[in-house]
Amino acid sequence: MNIEIITPDKNLFKGTADSIVVPGTSGLIGILNDHAPFITTLQKGQVVVTTSKGEQTFDVKSGVVEVLNNNVIVLAG
Amino acid sequence: MANLKEIRNRITSVNSTMQITSAMKMVSAAKLKRAQDAITQMKPYAEKLQEILTNLSSSLDASENEYAQEREVKNVLIVGVTSNRGLCGGFNNNVVKKIKTLVASEYKNCNISVLPVGKKINDALKYTTWESASSELYEHPEEIWNDLTFVNGSKMADSLMQAYKRGQYDQIVVVYNSFINAASQIVKNEQFLPVQVPEQTEDSNTIDYVYDPSKKEIVKDLIPNSLRIRLYKALLDSHASEHGARMTAMHQATDNATDLKKDLQLTYNKARQAAITSEILEIVGGAEALAN
């Protein structure tokens, strides 16, 4: 699935990945391929992206995640 | 005809002024490029956020939100966005003028406070009766231009939201130069608070999302975020406009200096030629007198 992590200042990540874990407001949420359309807000924590090359982590303070048709967009604040 | 030395001095001074203005133009061009990049960078974020928000509010009444309450307008805060530096044509003056017209027309019977972003509007404030809100709301708002990031812009937006929530102001308006292209900027006044709920479009809610937490919670979380983005966008726009305006102004100045230099050079050459001619005449006259 395609993942994009963007902040208003820069692009943090863009590419395909196997899974992504985000710190949702009601707890950690892992998203895998073919996830249903989904929107959640984020709380302070770490976004962990697992690609075929390994894991990458990004710190976020707030934000929102939209999952649609295997496209995950993380608007990090 | 002016003497040769005088003209030569003027040519030298016009020349060095021209060097300064053309250097400033190039500096502005480079800074404009970066400012434009920042706008392009922010755009997808802003668009996606707006899309999600519109999507959500089409199925939910967002006007209940604490930032969307319309109140009777008595106390108005105007955020005037100008630059810290001059030499950019009418850039700063246009903002001040726009605020003046707003105060004279729309907000005739209101208490006006101004949050002066940028040193230039501070100077203008000295000659008006408007109250400056910088000490109580946001200390040294002009320093934001030293480090224009989303984090800093958010701090300013947050303090505006707090003041609105406290009931200190009934309406907050942002007046800034919106960036069209390097040569043209348009002064805009945008209502910041209360929030205008995005227009609902018919086909916007075709996707059946799963929401976590509830839609209401998400909207509550997203509205402050979209406000931060809006203020940040206004700041970025103004930043790019400033460099665009300065670039145009400096280009104009360089052109004028070139014209001036050309004129002076012509006068100088004429004066020089006249001096030579009269010298030859003198020599010929003297030689003739000797021959006789």
Confidence bin at B63 (pLDDT 50/70/90) = low
- Mode of pairing for the β-strands spanning A11-16 and A2-6: antiparallel
Amino acid occupying residue A32: L
Residue B27 has pLDDT above 90, yes or no: yes
Is the model more confident about A14 or about B63?
A14
The highest-confidence range among A57-66, B39-48, B122-131, B264-273, by mean pLDDT, is B264-273
Tell me how far apart the alpha carbons of residues B73 and B6 are, in angstroms, rounded to a whole number.
62
Query: pTM of the entire structure?
Result: 0.87
Q: Could you tell me if B66 and B165 are in contact, meaning their C-beta atoms sit under 8 angstroms apart? A: yes
Confidence bin at B15 (pLDDT 50/70/90) = very high
**Closest chain B residue to the Cα of A40, Cα to Cα:** B212
Average pLDDT over residues B172-197: 90
B154 touches chain A (CB under 8 A): yes
- Beta partners for B182? none
CB atoms within 10 A of CB B105: 8
Among B42, B209, B228, select the one facing A38 at the smallest CB separation: B209
Least confident of A35-49, B25-39, B213-227, B248-262: B213-227
Confidence bin at B205 (pLDDT 50/70/90) = low
Are A39 and B221 a contacting pair at CB < 8 A? no
Secondary structure of chain B as H, E, C letters: CCCHHHHHHHHHHHHHHHHHHHHHHHHHHHHHHHHHHHHHHHHHHHHHHHHHHHHHHCCCCHHHCCCCCCCCCCEEEEEEECCCCCCCCCHHHHHHHHHHHHHHCCCCCCEEEEEEECHHHHHHHCCCCCEECHHHHCCCHHHHHHCCCHHHHHHHHHHHHHHHHHCCCCEEEEEEEEEEECCEEEEEEEEEECCCCCCCCHHHHCCCCEEECCHHHHHHHHHHHHHHHHHHHHHHHHHHHHHHHHHHHHHHHHHHHHHHHHHHHHHHHHHHHHHHHHHHHHHHHHHHHHHC
Amino acid occupying residue B129: T
**Closest chain B residue to the Cα of A24, Cα to Cα:** B212
Are B209 and A40 a contacting pair at CB < 8 A? no
Q: Could you tell me if A76 and A60 are in contact, meaning their C-beta atoms sit under 8 angstroms apart? A: yes
Taking contacts as CB-CB distances below 8 angstroms, the residues of chain A near B217 are: 25, 41
Residue from A41, A44, A61 whose CB has the most chain B CBs within 10 Å, to mutate: A41
Query: How far lies B158's CA from each of B141, B150, B224, B271, in Å?
Result: 13, 12, 8, 66
Question: How high is the ipTM of this complex?
Answer: 0.87
Is the model more confident about B195 or about B245?
B245
Helix (H) or strand (E) holding A2: strand A2-6
Quote the tokens at residue B27.
Answer: 């500096």
Are B221 and A62 a contacting pair at CB < 8 A? yes
Which CATH number belongs to the domain containing residue A27 in this structure?
A: 2.60.15.10
| Overall residue count recorded for chain A in this entry | 77
SS3 A70: coil
Cβ-proximal residues to B204 (8 Å cutoff; 6+ apart), any chain:
B54, B55, B58
Least confident of B9-13, B105-109, B123-127, B238-242: B123-127
Confidence bin at B66 (pLDDT 50/70/90) = confident
Q: What is the pLDDT of residue B32?
A: 95
**Closest chain B residue to the Cα of A29, Cα to Cα:** B212
Give the domain range for residue A26: 2-76
Q: How far is A8 from chain B (nearest CA, A)?
A: 5
Confidence bin at B65 (pLDDT 50/70/90) = confident
Are A9 and B228 a contacting pair at CB < 8 A? no
Q: What is the pLDDT of residue B254?
A: 96
Among A24, A37, A77, select the one facing B208 at the smallest CB separation: A37
For chain B, what are the domain ranges? 28-197+207-248
Confidence bin at B201 (pLDDT 50/70/90) = low
Query: How distant is the alpha carbon of residue B180 from its chain centre?
Result: 11
Q: What is the pLDDT of residue B232?
A: 93
Secondary-structure class of domain B28-197+207-248 per CATH: alpha beta
Average pLDDT over residues A9-16: 89
What percent of chain B has pLDDT above 70?
Answer: 94
Q: What is the pLDDT of residue B51?
A: 85
What percent of chain A has pLDDT above 70?
Answer: 100
User: Domains in chain A: how many in total?
Assistant: 1
Q: What is the pLDDT of residue B186?
A: 93
The model's pLDDT over B220-274, given as tens digits with 9 standing for 90+, comes to 888 888 899 999 999 999 999 999 999 999 999 999 999 999 999 999 999 999 9
Least confident of B34-43, B62-71, B107-116: B62-71
Q: What is the pLDDT of residue B2?
A: 62
Least confident of B79-83, B215-219, B236-240: B215-219
Confidence bin at B173 (pLDDT 50/70/90) = very high
